[in-house]
Homo-oligomer: A and B are copies of this chain.
């Protein structure tokens, strides 16, 4: 099946008729439908599909005659040499774009097809993967599947996570029929990680560097450190009409000051700071709120820059809270360290192509690739040009011609990594 046909297959799954954006929150019907589609595609290609206790899936193309699921007993597969794995995720942010995640999955399947057309057979196992819950859009913790798989996060550490409707993560996983819900003991790996010897993730670019460099494809050098911080502003609920302005303890005012402070700090320092999510109580037009909770997404070129920016925002928020008679508490919900992808691997992937080397560029977005890299897996990322740079939104886009160049680039990369050395 062609790249274009696969893309058309996935297009309606979880798509909003009004915005055209995608709602594929983890363990929902839409995301499960996409996951089932992936398994079906892998089976149609005679790959050996393995799903771990958390729902992460790797489908293997094994070396040797046949090379298929029938070609190796499961016991033998477990003991096999660690393989080269490529893939991405199928979940989306709320009202997200079509490309973030699925492009890497569909390109991985298309690259397998292309390699077979070229008559290539791998000399080490070659896996196509989907990790669950990359965006953290439902339970607040990004890269959940890869974190659990690599042991960066433990089951104990996520037991208390709930979505906005109060559904616990493990209940949502149980509803999706995942083995973790059986109470089976699952250690780090959950059955998958120890077989990933090298990981390559293809992803739509989320900025416009490749547009400026006039290149359809690039290679990631690393990922900026990134934190998600919950700000709880507490004040006193009161009547919006009868309470004099000077008698109020209005947390919305403290919040507003904090939004502007974060925006200014990030601008001044050339970093990133965003308040994109807010929850207000009681959220009533004619009541001064008792509480405003808001989440700061902060990213910077280094850990030191990130910490300085957060400290500056916290200080400014606290100063304003003192004047407003409110309080502010800050909790780091997740902090991801800086990632530097394996430089030798990146050079090996980027160098020596017709038309010159592929450009190397940093990214400010978190990815499963970053989690695997932090876990010691040699890891690389390929980016496909995005004409507007828009991401996490319905307008996210990549031209089909560029996507097909991405598939070729991924196939070339896999040939280098899984072929004769």
Contact = CB atoms under 8 A, between A and B. Distances in A.
Given A140-B285, A263-B250, A392-B287, A272 B241 contact: yes
A407 B179 CA distance: 64
Contact of A206 (B239, B289, B363): B239
Contacts of A295: 285
Contacts of A266: 245
A94 B284 contact: yes
Contacts of A250: 263, 274
A240 B272 contact: yes
Contact of A280 (B247, B253, B278, B287): B278
A288 B276 contact: yes
Interface residues of A, number: 71
Contacts of A207: 242-244
A277 B267 contact: no
A392 B246 CA distance: 18
Copies of this chain in its oligomeric complex: 2
Interface in A250-279: 250, 252-253, 255-257, 259-260, 263, 266-267, 272-278
A184 interface: no
Given A284-B276, A286-B136, A363 B95 contact: no
Contacts of A205: 242
A390 B226 CA distance: 41
B389 A242 contact: yes
A337 to B, nearest CB: 15
Interface centre among A96, A228, A239, A243 (most CB of B within 10 A): A239
B272 A252 contact: no
A49 to B, nearest CB: 30
Interface in A386-400: 389-395
Contacts of A237: 95, 390, 392-395
A181 interface: no
A299 B290 CA distance: 20
A219 interface: no
A365 interface: yes
Contacts of A226: 241
Nearest to A394: B237
A142 B285 CA distance: 10
Given A238-B389, A252-B276, A256-B263, 7 more contacts: A93-B286, A95-B284, A228-B285, A240-B392, A241-B366, A285-B295, A288-B392
3 shortest A-B CB distances, which residue pairs? A237-B393, A206-B242, A256-B259
Interface of A: 21, 93-96, 135-137, 140, 142, 205-207, 224, 226, 228, 236-247, 250, 252-253, 255-257, 259-260, 263, 266-267, 272-278, 280-290, 295, 297, 299, 363-366, 389-395
14 contacts: A93-B287, A136-B286, A206-B239, A206-B243, A226-B241, A237-B394, A239-B391, A240-B274, A252-B259, A255-B256, A256-B256, A260-B260, A277-B283, A278-B278
